[in-house]
Structure 1
Amino acid sequence: PRSQSTVNRDMVPLRAALGMVLKPGAPNTDAAWQEALRPFKGADRRRELYLDRDERKKLIDATSIEARPFVKALCLLPLRPGALAGLKVGDFEKRTRALTVGKDKNGNPRQLTMPQVIADFFEVQVKDKLPTASIFARADGAAWNKDAWKYPVKDAVKAAGLPGAGSAYTLRHSVITDLIRARLPILTVAQLSGTSVAMIEKHYGHLVRDDAEEALASIAI
C-alpha cells in the first residue's frame, strides 16, 4: 500500500483538475467531492530511519549487479530516486563535472558540480553510451522506475541485515542528514536536493539546532 504522503502528492493534480471543471459541493452531501480528496494531516512527517555510511556500504555490497550502480548513486547524491532514474548521458558534462537534473518533482532544472570522486563514478556509468541513453539503466536498457527499484532495494536491505523499513528514499534522507551534520548551509542542501528551505527546516531543523547548541557550548567562557 502507498504511504499517506504519497497519496497526498498524487491527489494534488487531481484536485486541481477537478477544481477547474467542478464547483465544490455542499458540505456533508454526496456532491461534496472535495471532502473525499482532502489531504491526510501530518502525513509528511519526518523520516526517522537513518543509515550511516557503513550501513550504506553494506547495502551497496548486498545489491544485485544490475541495481548496484543506481543504489550507489543514491548513496552519493541527495537526489530523489525518480530524478536519478531520469538522468540521461547528455546531462553529465565530464570536463566541468557538472550534472544537470532536469526531471524532478519541483519541475525546475538545476545543475550540480560534483567532486572528482563522484564524477569518476559517473564517467564509468556513461562510457560508450549515447547522449540520449539513461545513465542508470536496467539490464534491458530501460530506465529505472519505482516499480523496478523497489524490490532490489528491499532484497538488499534484507540481505545486509538492515532495518526492514529501508527504502530508496531512506538513502536520500541519509545523505541529506549527513550534509546537514557536515554543517553545509540549509540553503545549499535545499538546492542540491531540489526542495525548499522550508522543507529542509521542517524535516532536518532539529539537526541544525543540535549543532547550534554545540557551537554555543564551544564559545562559553
Structure 2
Amino acid sequence: MALDLSRVKDREKLKAQREPHWQRLRVGCFLGYRPSQRGNAGTWIARAYDEDVGKYQLKALGDYGALAGNERFAAAKKDAEALADLVESGGEVRAEIETVADACREYAKTRTEAEQRFKRYVYSDPIAKVKLEKLRRRHVKDWRTRLEALPALVSRNKGDQPIHRKRAPSSVNRDMAVLRAALSKVLSPGAPNSEAAWQEALKAVRNADGQRTLYLDRAERRKLLKAIHAEAAPFVHALCLLPLRPGAMAALTVGDFDKRTAELTIGKDKTGKPRRIQLPADATKLLAEQAKNKLPTAPLFMRANGKAWDKSSWKLPIKAAVIKAGLPAEASAYTLRHSTITDLVTAGLPLLTIAQISGTSAEMIERHYGHLTSGVAVKALGTLAL
C-alpha cells in the first residue's frame, strides 16, 4: 500500500530512521518525511528527478514548526512540487543551506558588515554547526549568553595592549540583529513559548541605546573641532556636517565624491545598497579639499600613514579632544551622527528624507526622534553648517 503522509496519526506511527519515508506525488516528484527521534516535529525533504544529469535533486524543507500538524503536509507538498517544476524547467537548485553557518554565509554574500560580525561571533561558535531543522530556543539562548559574556574592545594603550570593557546591551542588540535577520531568511518563527521558538532568544534589550541620547550642540561641536588633533580634524568635521555612520564615512573613496554635481555615493553601510545624496555647500567644500590630488581609489579621509580611518584609530583622538574640550566623557564618533540627525529633525526636514540621507529606516527615525518634530519649520540639509 502506498504511503500517505497527509495524516498526522499515520506520520506519528512511522519509525525514526536516517532514510526519509517517501511518498510519490507524481512522476519524478517525491515528498519525504523523517520523524524526530526526540519526539519533536519531524522534518520534510523534497526529491525531484533531473533528466539532464540523470539523478535526483534533493532539498531539505525544514519542519514547518510554525504550522499546525494538519497543515504541514500541504505546505511541504506545495514546496516539493515547486522544486520539481524548477528542476523540470531546467532551473538551478540553490546550494543546500543546512546549518546556522550556511544561513549566515548566504545572508552575508552582499552584506560586508554582517559577514564581519559572523566571523567574530558565529562561525567559531558551537551554534554554527547546528542544523537548521534542529535549531531550538536553547541553542540560541546559549549563544546569546556566550555573546553577552564576551568583553568588548575599547581601544589599545601606548604599549598596544588591548583595553576591554563589559559588552554594552546596545552592542549585544547589534550583534543579535544580524543573526536574527539571517535566520529569518530561511526559518519561520517557531510557535511562541515553545522550544521551537528560536526567535524568542534573540529579542532585543529594550532601551539599550542610552548613548544616543547624548546630544552635542553646535557650540560644543565647535569646541571639539578646536581640540581635535589636526590629522583627525577633517574626518571629525565631516561627521559634524553629515549624518553618516562613522564606518561609512571612513570607507568613502575619492571616486565616491562628484564635485561637479556636489553629490556623494555612500557604498559601505548597514543597508547593503549604495545610495547617493546631495551635499550642502560646507560639506562640498570640505570633501573637495580632501579629494584634491588623490587617485579615485584613495580614501577620501586619509590618515598620515596613507590608510583610511577605522574604529581603532579614530577613538583615541576623539577621546582626547573630548577631555580637552571639557565635553561629556561618553561623547564618541557616533554621538556626532546622533547630533546631526537631531539637528535635521528639529529643523523640520521630513523624516523619510532624513532616513534616506542617514541610511536608516523612517521607522527608526520616528522611534528615536519623533518627539522632536512638533512645531518646526522645514529647512534644507545646510542647517548642519557649524
C-alpha spacing 1:23/1:195, structure 2 compared with 1 (3 Å) = closer
CA distance in 1, matches of 2:350, 2:183: 39
Question: 2:373 is paired with a residue of what secondary structure?
Answer: helix
1:90 maps onto 2:252 in alignment: no
Which residue identity is paired with 1:96?
A: T
* Cα separation, partners in 2 of 1:45 and 1:211, compared to 1, 3 Å: farther
Deviates more, 1:111-120 or 1:195-204: 111-120
| TM-score computed with the length of structure 1 as normaliser | 0.84
Once the two structures are overlaid, the 10-residue window that deviates more, 91-100 or 115-124, is 115-124
* Greater gyration radius: 2
Secondary structure at the counterpart of residue 296 of structure 2: coil
* Structure 1 Cα separation of the partners of residues 170 and 336 of structure 2: 17
SS of the aligned residue for 2:268 comes to: coil
TM-score of the aligned structures, taking structure 2 as reference length: 0.50
- Please give the per-residue CA displacement for 1:131-184, whole angstroms capped at 9, x wherever unaligned: 011101221111111121112111111110001110111101111111111111
* Structure 1 match to 2:287: 122
For residue 218 of structure 1, what is the aligned residue in structure 2?
A: none
Aligned partner of 1:215 in structure 2 is none
Checking the alignment, whether the CA contact within 8 Å between 1:45 and 1:203 is kept in structure 2 is: no
Which residue of structure 1 lines up, in the alignment, with residue 233 of structure 2?
A: 68
Q: Residues 59-115 of structure 1: CA distance to partner in whole angstroms, max 9, x if unpaired?
A: 011111111111000000000001101101000001001100011011121111112
Counterpart code for 1:196 = S
The answer as to 2:242 corresponding to 1:77 is: yes
1:102 matched residue in structure 2: 267
Moved more, 33-42 or 163-172: 33-42
**1:10 alignment partner, one of 171, 175, 183:** 175
Distance 2:292 2:232 in 1: 17
1:17–1:79 distance in 2 versus 1, CA, 3 Å: closer
Gaps of 5+ in 1: 213-221
- Structure 2 residue identity aligned to 1:166: A
Structure 1 counterpart of 2:316, from 124, 130, 151: 151
Measure, in 1, the Cα distance between the counterparts of 2:286 and 2:248.
Answer: 18
SS in 1 for 2:306: coil
| Residue from 163, 167, 180 that aligns with 2:328 | 163
Give the SS at the match of 2:367: helix
The one-letter code sitting in structure 1 at the alignment partner of 2:348 is: R
**Aligned residue number for residue 125 of structure 2:** none
What is the percentage of aligned positions where both structures have the same residue?
A: 62
**Residues 15 and 192 (structure 1), Cα distance of their counterparts in 2 relative to 1, 3 Å cut:** closer
Tell me the residue number matched to 1:216: none
Query: Does the Cα contact within 8 Å between 2:262 and 2:284 map onto a contact in 1?
Result: yes
AA aligned opposite 1:134: P
Change (3 A) 1:38 1:187: closer
Cα 1:18–1:94 change in 2 (3 A) is: closer
Separation of aligned partners in 2, 1:147 and 1:2? 16
Structure with greater proportional strand content:
2
Tell me, in whole angstroms, the C-alpha distance in 1 between the residues paired with 2:173 and 2:217: 29
